[in-house]
A and B are shown apart, each in its own frame.
Chain A
């Protein structure tokens, strides 16, 4: 079983829809949670990060962490065609003397006009 599970999709939604992207994890050692967005043939770029359980909002994006359930989510409100990309969750843990960053497989999102 992978430490971080993420449904690869693809997820196809109409413009204006609310999108919910999710990751689950198995190791309670994960402390820092991030969402990266990756456009086709580009490198990932950081969207949001959060440390604690709860919600964090940035414009149309809301990151949610539930440490008790080992579950994180990214919500996109009023989705736009420009949101079409792959979204990767990433989590940091301290292991073996080093900080380690583990990425989910990524969920491919397509927002159609």
Chain B
């Protein structure tokens, strides 16, 4: 398996623009997680899905953030409108069986909002 795939790897955009991050989890995994990592706040869990259904989105910072998982092999995290404070590395991870099971992280998307 190729592991968790994220795209794009780097994104530079201007404030106010819409940003869409994409993730393909490991085939067969039933949990998918979106994280944000910054120097100031560390690694934060934003939202996670079980069998394509959002379970806990309490980590989503604001209504500007939304996530979807239309099928078992694809998820998106959207920021609209983007702001400079959204600049961070966004990771997607997947696991089989739950939040405490081994999570396999993707390479991350480095987002810079100017």
* Chain A hits for B13, CB < 8 A: none
State whether A92 and B100 are in contact (beta carbons under 8 Å apart), knowing that A100-B56, A103-B42 are contacts in the complex.
Answer: yes
* B: contact size bracket: 20 to 34
* Chain B hits for A106, CB < 8 A: 42-43
| 26 A–B pairs (Cβ distance < 8 Å), ordered by A | A32-B100, A34-B100, A42-B107, A42-B108, A43-B4, A43-B91, A43-B105, A43-B108, A44-B43, A45-B105, A46-B103, A49-B102, A88-B43, A92-B99, A92-B100, A96-B56, A98-B55, A98-B56, A99-B98, A100-B45, A100-B56, A100-B58, A101-B45, A101-B100, A102-B45, A103-B44
Interface residues in chain B, defined as those with a beta carbon under 8 Å from any beta carbon in chain A: 4, 42-45, 55-56, 58, 91, 93, 98-100, 102-108
